[in-house]
């Protein structure tokens, strides 16, 4: 399987209506905003959803575990194995090779998200510290090994097209939380926050030079392209009811060479998003974007 042969840039626009796309745990779980009150959704949150959709695609297609398209970083509520931690999954997948010189190569071969986004394998030593040498001095402690893999796919944080308005609702939680259930616990007050309405956009890129390091292929790129229009499907939660978040458009620029015909910044600037979700695309000579509607 050949690695990615053409640089790729992409953009995804989506609408949020009466939902909390990405709560900030340091701010009472209010929707994230920057200092100018533009809505924000972290790149980590976006990659989490891409991983979830890729995992669902793998399961729905009935693939085998050793086909190289499994996902390493799985959500606890969606995982398809019995691993209780990333280390346990790494040990099950790589066996005795975990921590060796072959770790990066084997991890990239086995897990699609490692090939795409990279991964840091920070492995603590299983050896017990505090042993003594024959002369009575302490042995140097073994702190383990750290193996970093740099992925070719980068995803930026999403920002709203214009400043957003956030509504806060006070809620009352009253449940039988303790005992045999015959006595109701005292009411607990809480808050729930949502973005009334907003259009967001995020950008990404795929680098063929880095793809050679992880063996990220054209088919891997197509897999990510296939799930982007469905980014919020099966992602419902109390903070994000079904239908409250919707992908509007995916714009996909495939360059004609590895280095790219234009810089990613210049390509991304050709897309102008309006507050109602409509958009305009400027043309760049020799680079024709593919426009894909949301699911």
What integer pLDDT is reported at residue 181 of this predicted model?
A: 60
Are the beta carbons of 49 and 222 closer than 8 angstroms?
A: no
**pLDDT averaged over consecutive 10-residue blocks of the chain (295 residues)?**
93 98 95 97 98 93 80 92 92 92 95 97 68 58 79 98 95 67 67 96 98 97 98 95 97 97 98 97 97 96
What per-residue confidence (pLDDT) applies to 290? 98
Q: Would you call 275 helix, strand, or coil by DSSP?
A: coil
Helices and strands counted in the chain (H then E): 7, 14
pLDDT of the residue at 60: 87
- 3-state secondary structure at position 281: strand
Q: Please report, in angstroms and rounded to a whole number, the separation of the first and last CA atoms in the chain.
A: 29
Determine phi and psi for 49, rounding to 5 degrees. Answer: -70, -35
Give the pLDDT confidence score for residue 145 in this predicted structure. 79
Residue 131, pLDDT score:
58
Buried-exposed string 152-189: b where 16+ CB fall within 10 A, e elsewhere = bbbbbbbbbbeebeeeeeeeeeeeeeeeeeeeeeeeee
- Domain boundaries, given as residue ranges, for the chain: 8-130+144-177+187-293
Query: Helix-strand-coil percent breakdown of the chain, rounded to 5?
Result: 25, 35, 40
């Amino acid at each position: 399987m050949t690695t990615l042969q053409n640089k790729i840039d992409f953009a995804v626009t989506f609408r949020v209506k009466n939902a909390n796309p990405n709560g900030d745990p340091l701010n009472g779980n209010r929707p994230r905003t920057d200092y100018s009150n533009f809505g924000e959704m972290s790149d980590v949150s976006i990659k989490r959803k891409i991983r979830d959709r890729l995992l669902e695609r793998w399961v729905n297609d009935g693939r085998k575990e050793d086909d190289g398209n499994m996902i390493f970083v799985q959500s606890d509520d969606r995982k398809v194995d019995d691993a209780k931690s990333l280390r346990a999954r790494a040990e099950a997948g790589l066996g005795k090779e975990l921590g060796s010189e072959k770790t990066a190569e084997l991890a990239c071969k086995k897990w699609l998200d490692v090939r795409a986004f990279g991964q840091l394998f920070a492995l603590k030593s299983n050896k017990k510290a505090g042993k003594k040498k024959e002369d009575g001095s302490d042995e140097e402690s073994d702190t383990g090994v750290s193996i970093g893999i740099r992925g070719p796919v980068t995803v930026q944080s999403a920002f709203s097209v214009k400043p957003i308005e956030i509504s806060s609702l006070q809620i009352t939680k009253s449940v039988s939380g303790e005992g045999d259930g015959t006595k109701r616990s005292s009411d607990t007050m809480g808050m729930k926050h949502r973005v009334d309405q907003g259009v967001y956009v995020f950008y990404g890129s795929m680098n063929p030079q880095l793809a050679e390091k992880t063996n990220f292929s054209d088919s891997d790129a197509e897999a990510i392209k296939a799930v982007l229009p469905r980014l919020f499907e099966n992602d419902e939660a109390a903070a994000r009811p079904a239908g409250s978040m919707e992908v509007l458009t995916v714009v996909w620029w495939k360059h004609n060479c590895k280095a790219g015909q234009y810089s990613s910044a210049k390509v991304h600037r050709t897309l102008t998003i309006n507050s109602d979700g409509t958009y305009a695309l400027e043309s760049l000579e020799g680079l024709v974007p593919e426009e894909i509607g949301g699911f």
